[in-house]
């Protein structure tokens, strides 16, 4: 998974890294590796940290406000790996699985996704009464 394809670049403590995040099944998988491909691969997971809306009848819907993995979050993960796990990006070693990343990231300043068109708005546009059935406006 160290391909540059679809990965992003970040420099932390004068070392260039590549990273990639992929969401699915309620978690976001994050992979980080030194661009020189010498140091170990860092991997971890984050929850979406999204808001759930009660739709009644025991059903819920995501508000669509899940976190967006940014370079700031990736920087926090790399610094955590270095400071707490002794990660060294210029030495070969075993891959580092840093679980529990939800407690590492400072969520207050995290960027959140937004839904462009809430489903209710889209639905209202679909079921709107056709113009031909509307009463003409009066000039009074």
The beta strand positions in the chain, using DSSP E, are 8-12, 15-24, 27-34, 42-47, 52-56, 59-62, 96-97
Reported as a single tens digit per residue, the pLDDT across 12-21 is: 999 999 999 9
- Regarding pTM above 0.85, the answer is no
Reported as a single tens digit per residue, the pLDDT across 72-121 is: 999 999 999 999 999 999 999 999 999 878 888 876 767 777 765 455 54
> Is the pLDDT confidence value at 62 over 70?
yes
Q: pLDDT at position 131, please?
A: 45
Tokens of residue 130, six digits? 């056709």
Predicted confidence band at 49 (pLDDT cuts at 50, 70, 90)? confident
Nearest one of 99, 88, 106, 87 to 45, comparing CA atoms: 99
- Integer Cα distance of 77 and 69 in angstroms: 11
């Amino acid at each position: 998974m160290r391909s540059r394809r679809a990965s992003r670049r970040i420099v932390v403590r004068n070392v260039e890294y590549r990273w990639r995040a992929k969401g699915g099944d309620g978690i976001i998988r994050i992979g980080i590796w030194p661009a020189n491909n010498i140091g170990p691969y860092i991997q971890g997971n984050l929850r979406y940290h999204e808001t759930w809306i009660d739709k009644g009848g025991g059903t819920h819907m995501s508000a669509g406000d899940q976190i967006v993995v940014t370079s700031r979050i990736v920087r926090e993960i790399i610094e955590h790996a270095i400071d707490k796990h002794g990660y060294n990006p210029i030495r070969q070693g075993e891959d580092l699985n840093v679980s529990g990343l939800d407690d590492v990231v400072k969520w207050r300043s995290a960027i959140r996704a937004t839904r462009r068109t809430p489903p209710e708005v889209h639905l209202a546009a679909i079921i709107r009464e056709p113009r031909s059935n509307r009463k003409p406006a009066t000039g009074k």
